[in-house]
Amino acid sequence: MAAIVGAAETLDAGASEDAQLRRSFLDILLRHAQRLAQLTTDLLDIARLEAGYRPRTESVPIAEVIETVTASLRSRADERRISLVSQSAGHFAVQAERAAVEQILTNFVENAVKYTPEGGRISVQALRKKDMIALEVEDNGPGIAAEHLPRLFERFYRVDNARSRELGGTGLGLAIVKHLALANGGDVRVESTVGQGSKFSVLLPSA
């Protein structure tokens, strides 16, 4: 908020008359306004989840969720020359709220696109694990040191605060994911090796 006010004041004080300054302060304004919008949405999501969210579950075909989510994030992956592939989605279906499954997968894939360097690879797949279905997103990005893994799903927890902020992160994405997974009768997992990549999974009851 302070950055937005500061940029607007600077423009108002005359920076808007210089084309280059105008461009750069408008960029700042836009970037911070987008971040504030994301933060507001995330905080509202958390508040709703904590106020006693009851999912409306149905049988959700996993292949459809993977298709919807990868289609919506494809252009962002392309911009960063990241290949986004989905492997065997099979004929699995989960008993969960469709919007929640989409939001969980979107968060995982968005993170993978953000944190994986240009030219990387992200794969999405579904597997059966007894009476649960695991939905996994694996990347070959920087990986996360073991000491961070136990706290990754806490609110506002970020491995690299400065870098995450720069990329527009709020540190709430994975906390929302965990809430949604638990409320839908599932759970989350993460495995990661520094220098090799990360694998985030959600387990949901098989339909």
Ligand X SMILES: Nc1ncnc2c1ncn2[C@@H]1O[C@H](COP(=O)(O)OP(=O)(O)O)[C@@H](O)[C@H]1O
84 beta partners: 122
Does residue number 86 form part of the binding site for ligand X (CB under 6 A)?
no
Binding range to ligand X, per CB under 6 A, among 7-15, 22-30, 55-63, 104-112 = 104-112
Q: 3-state class of 158 per DSSP?
A: coil
Structural contact between residues 174 and 107, judged by C-beta atoms closer than 8 angstroms = yes
Q: Are strands 121-129 and 83-86 parallel, antiparallel or unpaired?
A: parallel
Residue 64 is encoded by which pair of tokens?
Answer: 């459809």
Instruction: Please give the residue ranges that form the binding site for Mg ion (CB under 5 A).
Output: 111, 173
Dist. CA 200–CA 131, nearest whole Å: 19
Specify burial of residue 169 (Cβ count, 10 A radius: 0-12, 13-18, 19+): buried
Binding-site partner at residue 136 among Mg ion, ligand X, none, CB < 5 to 8 Å by type: none
Whichever of 102 and 160 has its CB closer to ligand X, that residue is 160
Which residue pairs, CB below 8 angstroms and at least 24 apart, start in 162-165? 165/35
Dist. CA 57–CA 98, nearest whole Å: 7
Residues 159-178 touching ligand X, rule: CB under 6 A, are 159-160, 164, 169-174
Give me the least distance between CB of 126 and ligand X, in Å please: 18
Give me the least distance between CB of 48 and ligand X, in Å please: 17
Binding range to ligand X, per CB under 6 A, among 5-13, 29-37, 98-106, 154-162 = 154-162
Q: Using the rule CB under 6 A, which residue among 57, 66, 73, 142 binds ligand X? A: 142
Binding-site partner at residue 53 among ligand X, Mg ion, none, CB < 5 to 8 Å by type: none
Question: Which residues are near ligand X by CB under 6 A?
Answer: 107, 111-112, 115, 139, 141-142, 144, 152, 157-160, 164, 169-174, 198
